[in-house]
């Protein structure tokens, strides 16, 4: 719009000081008039259209990249949830098998504190593994929320730090 309203392309005034010869020029004036259909104006408009198209393409590619990252994070989150469900199911089966073993075995065998402590230590280790998977789920969920933009990045604090 500004280019359409421009009429004068340039104005140049040059004064070369006093001269002894009267025929030698002292003052020269140059004026350039912008023609509405000039090539420079069309070139500028084409350059601006190309820049606009380039910016639109960059924005579109950034949106697509963000969408792909969000889909990847969501898939990882679902995978971690299925891993947690499987691990939790195995833990419950281990607890129930330990309880059955303890109930069905003769009392003399379970009087040994080393065996009892070993079995309980195994259960604690498995519970810790399940908790680590849960922690990974929470971290992935928060990362997904941040990538989507549902959390304010400046106010976020990670309370799951080790």
Least confident of 24-28, 48-52, 119-123: 24-28
CB 7, CB 34: distance < 8 Å: yes
Distance CA 156, CA 139 (A): 12
Whether 1 has a pLDDT exceeding 60, the answer reads yes
Rg of the Cα atoms in the chain: 39
pLDDT of residue 157 exceeding 70, the answer is: no
CA distance 127 to 156: 28
pLDDT beyond 70 at 28: yes
66-96 pLDDT per residue, tens: 999 999 999 999 999 999 999 999 989 988 8
Neighbouring residues of 66: CB distance < 8 A, sequence distance ≥ 6: 147
pLDDT for 111: 62
Give residue 60's pLDDT.
Answer: 96
């Amino acid at each position: 719009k500004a280019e359409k309203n421009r009429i004068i392309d340039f104005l140049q005034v040059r004064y070369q000081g006093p001269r002894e010869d009267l025929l030698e020029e002292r003052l020269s004036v140059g004026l350039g008039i912008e023609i509405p259909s000039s090539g420079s104006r069309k070139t500028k408009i084409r350059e601006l259209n190309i820049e606009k198209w380039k910016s639109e393409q960059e924005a579109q590619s950034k949106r697509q990249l963000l969408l792909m990252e969000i889909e990847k994070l969501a898939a990882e989150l679902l995978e971690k949830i299925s891993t947690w469900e499987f691990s939790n199911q195995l833990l419950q089966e281990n607890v129930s098998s330990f309880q059955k073993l303890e109930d069905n075995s003769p009392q003399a065998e379970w009087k040994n504190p080393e065996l009892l402590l070993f079995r309980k230590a195994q259960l604690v280790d498995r519970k810790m593994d399940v908790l680590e998977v849960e922690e990974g789920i929470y971290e992935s969920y928060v990362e997904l929320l941040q990538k989507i933009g549902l959390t304010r990045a400046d106010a976020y604090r990670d309370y799951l730090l080790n």
